[in-house]
Structure 1
Amino acid sequence: MKILWFSNIKLTETQMSGSGTWISGMNDLLSTYYPDVQIANVTIAKVDTVREEIVRGRSQWVLPKKTTAGDMDLFVKIIDSYHPDIIQIWGTEFFWATIPFETICPNVPVILDMQGFYSSVLDVLYGDLTMQEIIRCFSIKEFLRPSSSLIALSRRLHKSVNREEEVIRKYKIISVQSNWVKGNVNLLNPKATIYETRIALRPQFFQAVKWNLNRMEPYTIFSTASMIEPTKGSFTLLKAFREVKRLLPQTKLLFAGSIQTGIRKSGYMRLMEQFIYLNGLSDSISFLGSLNTDDLIKAYLHSNVFVNPSYAESYSLILAESTYLGVPTVATYAGAMGELGSSKSLLYFSKYDYRACASKIISILTNRELAVKLSIQSITFSEKKHDPKTVAETQFSIYRSVLGQLNK
């Protein structure tokens, strides 16, 4: 069985960090449990010419960033060279899904794997910002490069939503990560054959020790909420942290993720920094920057509570990671995050409701028994949902089913 992936992730010899790590994780699991399944990957990077390479036994084509869906000769060459049984497109973010595979290789089934929805991001683009705060997000960076402003982003998202909906209506075979995504796909393409897949965590999480009440740092909140743009809920978390500090002044907040500096700093991030300064929170908040997998696990295990305040998630890998490690977790009940736990395994709050968020955080920080209970329940729930063998088996069964339908 030969599968050709089109993804925005470049497979590497070393561990990955950042977005899309579940793709690399799935590659690792299929390699472990189904070594006879051959995987090849097509991706894009900063290269001048097409590069064909072998990464951990997998063939990979790295294409220049100038590549477009119109470069049909290139895709024909790759497909003819590899002779895949199935093509899998990871997400609608890149142009992969607009390649006319039905013309290039009409006899090869193509699976569109949904990673998220632009429309769900567009709906919450401005988060809980007031009109005055939205205006204040137009700062130095946005003045020098207007295309980086939230308004410009909104315009691009509108175009992306239209393109994405056309793509979803086009494909006959679609795989989804959650019931929330499945419902959204059904609204656009009720005739599609839909397969329910599972998210692969990185191998380090399967090997890591679990969260321990006696080894964590009390009154430490950890989050990966982006400080660059509003949709990930960082403003809600900052307002919640202000309330937590009022009652528990010893509390610390740690942020992991990309950090912008100088004129590269977005107007939204400047607004967040102003909020932190004006509310006297500067000495209680630390920015850790981008973390590799091992350091990310250490940050999870170090914390007393993990918070994901995002307004739109088609799955939320970070929530899956925190609960798999057993970190007491507070999360927004938004998108598919409600499918990653129950009221017994993590504490939910409604998006934008910073007071409820603060209350949930405080209940964990001040109640050791509750923290342990949530930890145990989250491990039980998440280990079943993200069992590596089951994840690989589910993906393999999708491939087998697609080929079975083709041979009928």
Structure 2
Amino acid sequence: MKKVLWLCNLAFSDQAIKGGSWLQPLAEKLQQSNKILILNISVGNVSKITYTEYKGIKQWILPQSKQKQYGQTATYKRCKEVQNIIESEKPDLVHIWGTEIFWASIYAKGFIKTKTLIDIQGLLYAYTDFYLGGLTINEILNTIHIKEILMPWRNLFTKQQIFFKRGQVELRYIKKFEHISIQSQWVRNLLQQVNPIAHYYPTRILLRDNFYTAQPWSYKNTTSPIIFSSCAAAVSYKGIHVLLKSIALLKKEYPEIQLHLAGKIMVGDKLQDGYSIFLKKLIKKLNLQSNIVLLGSIDESNIIKELQSCSVCVIPSFIETYCLAFAEAMIIGVPTVTSYTGAMPELATHEKETLFYNSLDYRNAASHISRLIKDQALAEQISQNARKRRLQENAPQLVLNTQLNIYKSILYEI
């Protein structure tokens, strides 16, 4: 049996995962296949390297480094910690998940001699051009408040530059890899311009078990529709400001309409970021105070409940390499209105499994939402088609076989 050591940001546990993750269910399925032995190294809130086991998976949790929070270059000490575990366990393959933090640098700096695969999740350098989310200069200036004045590196212009700089580091590391797995053709198109000689492996995403077995969405004939959307953090490229403008238009026709927003955005009593304050002021300006419900971070079961109870789900992001929230809505069968950007067109077809709109075009987005609220036949057709596609493309056995075949191809140089 071959050993595959993961380097990822998630430590496996029985605790509910907020925000969504396909890594833990995939690790469990691989372990249960009896074809691969999974090991895992992650980073967590521990004071020293902590060894644990989860469902037969050996894992090491490394303490948070004193380096910058989003540091992409591992310290020498961190590199040696990982190298020592690799030398002790002697895995046949190392699988790095993502370029957002320092895992890729450990390989790029030569501390990993084992065959290594990197899976691309977000692409920082590709996000830079979309970071501001179409905000006007005046709107950007209105996101500057006390927090941004006290900490100038938190304003949107500087954050965009930080993304650019991190993206340049990311590019240097990506060029070092021979084996790269990708979640969409869109990502492959970008990376082949950067590293044309790498071997690319299309992968598939495993959703959490409950999304496959949950009661499918059903049409709601109502004059008080609920629109659901989620945003992991208060970031401008997620397009929540565009969605709010759509809701303001829809309120003229549906005075009782509600937008349920999940995620760490506009919640909490601590000093809030300027973008969240901008959104709050925009809500007041658009007279939406009674129409917005802030859910905060919610777990898997509550995400499913929200999807089942809404009329339409909206994915307003300006850029996505793959979108787990979109896939989850589709598999529940929720009709969606989605921005046409990045890899989104690879997950669904316009007028068949979703309704697409240009990221900035809040008027057209509002029109699409209204169509799905009113037209039961259209909503149910899109619902059924979306669910059918996700059940096929995200089928657990297909996802498992795809991942096993990727490992086999690298291990045996097929």
Give TM-score, length-normalised by structure 1. 0.95
Asked whether the 8 Å contact 1:141–1:263 carries over to 2, the reply is: no
Amino acid at match of 2:60: W
Amino acid paired to 2:158: A
Displaced runs of 4 or more, over 4 A? 214-218
- Quote the offset at 1:146 in angstroms: 2.2
- Between 395-404 and 47-56, the greater mean CA deviation after superposition: 47-56
The aligned residue for residue 11 of structure 1 is 12
The residue number in structure 2 matching 1:329 is 336
**Maintained 8 Å contact 2:108/2:176:** no
Deviation at 1:119, TM superposition (A): 2.0
Residue in structure 1 matched with residue 158 of structure 2 by the alignment: 152
Alpha carbons 2:337, 2:357 under 8 Å: kept? yes
Q: How does 1:51-70 map to 2 (within 5 A)?
A: 51-66=50-65, 68-70=74-76
Partner-residue secondary structure (3-state), 1:376: helix
- Write the distance in 2 (CA, Å) between the matches of 1:215 and 1:43: 46
Two-structure CA RMSD over aligned residues (Å): 1.8
Partner of 1:22: 22
Q: Which amino acid aligns with 1:52?
A: Y
3-state SS, counterpart of residue 225 of structure 1: strand
Superposed, which structure 2 residues align to 1:203-352 within 5 Å?
A: 203-213=209-219, 219-225=225-231, 228-259=234-265, 260-343=267-350, 344-352=352-360
Structure 1 unaligned residues grouped into runs of 5+: none
**Contact conserved, 1:222 with 1:299, CA < 8 A, in 2?**
yes
Contact 1:114 / 1:176 at 8 angstroms: preserved in 2? yes
User: Aligned partners of 1:94 and 1:217: how far apart in 2?
Assistant: 46
Q: Distance in 1 between matches of 2:256 and 2:223?
A: 11
- 1:402 counterpart = 2:401: no
| Superposed displacement of residue 261, structure 1 | 3.0
Tell me the amino acid that sits aligned with residue 297 of structure 1.
I
Distance in 2 between residues matched to 1:110 and 1:270, nearest whole Å: 43
The answer to whether the 8 A contact 1:325-1:379 is kept is: yes
- Determine what percentage of the aligned residue pairs are the same residue: 32
> What is the aligned partner in structure 1 of residue 69 from structure 2?
none
Residues in 1 aligned to 2:44 and 2:309: alpha-carbon distance in whole angstroms: 34
User: Displacement, 1:199?
Assistant: 1.0
More moved, 21-30 vs 257-266: 257-266
Deviations 1:257-291 (A, max 9, x none): 11443443111111111111122111011001111
Aligned length: 403
1:110 pairs with 111, 116, 129, which one? 116
Residues in 2 aligned to 1:223 and 1:176: alpha-carbon distance in whole angstroms: 25
Contact 1:69 1:98 (C-alpha < 8 Å) held by counterparts: no
Q: List gaps (5 residues or longer) in structure 2.
A: 67-73
Q: Matched residues in 1 for 2:109 and 2:131: separation?
A: 34
Kept in 2: contact 1:177–1:198 (CA 8 A): yes
Note the C-alpha offset of 1:145. 2.3
Distance of aligned partners of 1:104 and 1:276 in 2 relative to their CA distance in 1, 3 Å threshold? closer
Deviation at 1:31, TM superposition (A): 3.1
Instruction: State how far apart, in whole Å, the 1-side matches of 2:328 and 2:30 are.
Output: 19
Pick from 372, 386, 389 the counterpart of residue 378 of structure 1. 386
SS in structure 1 opposite 2:219?
coil
Where in structure 2 are the equivalents of 1:2-151 lying within 5 Å? 2-18=3-19, 21-32=21-32, 34-66=33-65, 68-71=74-77, 72-100=79-107, 103-106=110-113, 108-151=114-157
- Are the equivalent residues in 2 in contact too, given 1:216–1:302 (CA < 8 A)? no
Give the equivalent residue in structure 1 for 2:176. 170
SS of aligned partner of 2:158: helix
**Residue 161 (structure 1) shift:** 0.9
How far apart are 1:404 and its partner, in Å?
Answer: 1.0
Give the CA deviation at 1:208: 1.1
Residue in structure 2 matching 1:184, options 190, 194, 211 = 190
Q: CA deviation at 1:378?
A: 0.6
TM (norm. structure 2) is: 0.93
Q: Structure 1: how far apart are the matches of 2:381 and 2:389?
A: 12
1:178 and 1:216 map into 2 onto residues whose CA distance is 37
Indicate if the aligned counterparts of 2:8 and 2:98 stay in contact, CA closer than 8 A: yes
